[in-house]
Amino acid sequence: MRYEEFRDSIRNGLRAHPQGLTWRELKDQLELPQKTPCYSWIARLETEIGLERSRAGRSMVWRLA
């Protein structure tokens, strides 16, 4: 999967769930092939689509700003 496909999938998934989702939820719902997200891609998502991640217990919730 190329970064652009990953970015668009994450953006669309989070737009559909404004309350946010964990990585596991995103991975399962969007059928992403990555076991864990690439940290350099996360940094790009923060800049390009306004990704915000916040701790909720033991998980990180991903949402759009």
Please report which confidence band the pLDDT of residue 6 belongs to, taking 50, 70 and 90 as the band edges. Answer: very high
Query: pLDDT value at position 60?
Result: 94
Query: pLDDT value at position 47?
Result: 97
CATH of domain 3-64: 1.10.10.10
Domain spans of the chain, in order of start: 3-64
pTM score > 0.85 for this model? yes
DSSP string for residues in 2-56: -HHHHHHHHHHHHHH-TT-EEHHHHHHHHT---SS--HHHHHHHHHHT-EEEEEE
pLDDT tens digits, 27-37? 999 999 999 99
Q: Distance between CA atoms of 63 and 65, rounded to whole angstroms? A: 7
Please report which confidence band the pLDDT of residue 48 belongs to, taking 50, 70 and 90 as the band edges. Answer: very high
Please report which confidence band the pLDDT of residue 51 belongs to, taking 50, 70 and 90 as the band edges. Answer: very high
